[in-house]
Amino acid sequence: MPANTFGERFRVTTAGVSHGPGYLCIIDGCPAGLPLSVEDLLPDLRRRRPGQSKIVTQRDEEDLPEIWSGIFEGKTDGTPIGISFRNGDQRSGDYGDIKDKYRPGHADYTFDAKFGFRDYRGGGRSSARETMCRVAAGSVAKKLLSAQGIRILGYVKQVGDVRVEIPDPTAITLDQVEANPIRCPDPEVAARMIALIEEVRKDRDSIGGICEMVAVGVPPGLGEPIFDKLKADLAKAMLSLPAVMAFEYGNGFAVAALRGSQNNDPFVNHGGRIETDSNRHGGMLGGISSGMPIVCRVAIKPTSSLPRPQRTVTRAGEPTEIATRGRHDPCLLPRFVPMGEAMMAIVLADHWLRQCSTRL
């Protein structure tokens, strides 16, 4: 299966399936001399891991990384960083009933159509467990970016019809995001979101929402003018994550109702630095970073695996019903936040390294 690697200068390759022995992640292109240890990977991995609260899947996985290569005396040595994870709490028997049935909303049918074969245990290669590799790689990218003064933070902006308004995304702190299990920085709105998730869970259903991410301290000039625009790589990165249905940045789809005079951001001289006095462009112009905060959002679909009966067909095309067994998130948003941050960090690290080689 091709296309298991993302990035040009900061390259991330993943391998593994959700009910196999475990996962492998290789990070190639990280410069030598960056202090790095397992402890640097754990905070975001713990934010992503299952079983962290009652509103996420209760699969019991520690998701502890083992660094196999690329580190010498506590620092990166310039060679590929190899990280492994072992699966522990597989319950493959939960998926026996779907061996010959296609789950609505999943990649079961499309994998069969492409390969003529699929690993039906928990989704195989398309399982969201693969994202722990991305989160580990994102932790490395975040540390590399932090040394350049770049900070990335995501949070839940919407669950169902419950939405929080954030006047200044750059003012949100990690403590605010981590203060509740839904990862919404507004406590009152977070409580309503959690109540909605509990409601749909009791109804044996699921609910979708929106995650917003912001990167501050990004210098102007990152991104390529044509096919490797920064916005294009961010979109590809986000849309490559499981359950992501849409991507927008800045004003996003709202531009469809605006005039140019309403949407343009006038340039200003702010203390000797060229900036814009608003950020409707979301920190990117012509696919290149402008130096303003990069703000983007993704829409996450409701979890497709439901314990309630759904209509489907077998591999032979015979009508049947399916009710998915196992442990599944009633809402994917809380665990998505570190995944989205990771992919944003990987893209920015890749383009920062590319920019380092473009000018003397």
Write the DSSP symbol of residue 96: G
More confident residue, 296 or 114: 296
CB 28 within 8 A of CB 9: no
pLDDT tens per residue, range 155-168: 999 999 999 999 99
* Cα angle, residue 84 at apex, residues 78 and 87 outer, rounded to 5°: 170
Residue 56 has pLDDT above 90, yes or no: no
**Which has the minimum average pLDDT: 55-69, 173-187, 323-337?**
55-69
Q: Which position has the higher pLDDT, 127 or 66?
A: 66
Per the prediction, the chain carries an average pLDDT of: 92
Of 93, 224, 238, which Cα lies nearest the Cα of 154? 238
Q: Which amino acid is at 14?
A: T
The residue ranges of every structural domain in the chain are 5-356
What stretch of H or E contains 132? helix 131-146
Q: Are 230 and 321 in contact (CB under 8 A)?
A: no
pLDDT at 187 over 70: yes
Cβ contacts of 210 within 8 Å, gap of 6 or more: 156, 157, 158, 163, 297, 298, 299, 300, 333
The pLDDT, as a whole number, for residue 139 is: 98
Average confidence (pLDDT) over 273-290: 97
The DSSP element (H or E) to which 319 belongs, if any, is strand 319-322
pLDDT (tens digit per residue) in 219-269: 999 999 999 999 999 999 999 999 999 999 999 999 999 999 999 999 999
In CATH, what number does 5-356 get? Answer: 3.60.150.10
Query: Is 96's pLDDT higher than 90?
Result: no
Length of the chain: 360
Predicted confidence (pLDDT) per residue in 288-332, tens digit: 999 999 999 999 999 998 888 999 999 999 999 988 776 678 999
Instruction: Give the full edge-to-edge strand order of the sheet including 244-249.
Output: 162-163, 151-159, 209-216, 294-300, 244-249
DSSP-based three-state secondary structure for 110: helix
pLDDT on residue 99: 80
For the purposes of burial, counting CB atoms within 10 Å of the CB of 8, is it exposed (0-12), middle (13-18) or buried (19 or more)?
Answer: middle
The residue that leads in pLDDT, 281 or 54, is: 281
- Per-residue model confidence as pLDDT tens digits over 203-216: 999 999 999 999 99
Across the range 185-197, mean pLDDT stands at: 97
**pTM, to two decimals:** 0.94
The Cα 90–Cα 312 span in angstroms is 25
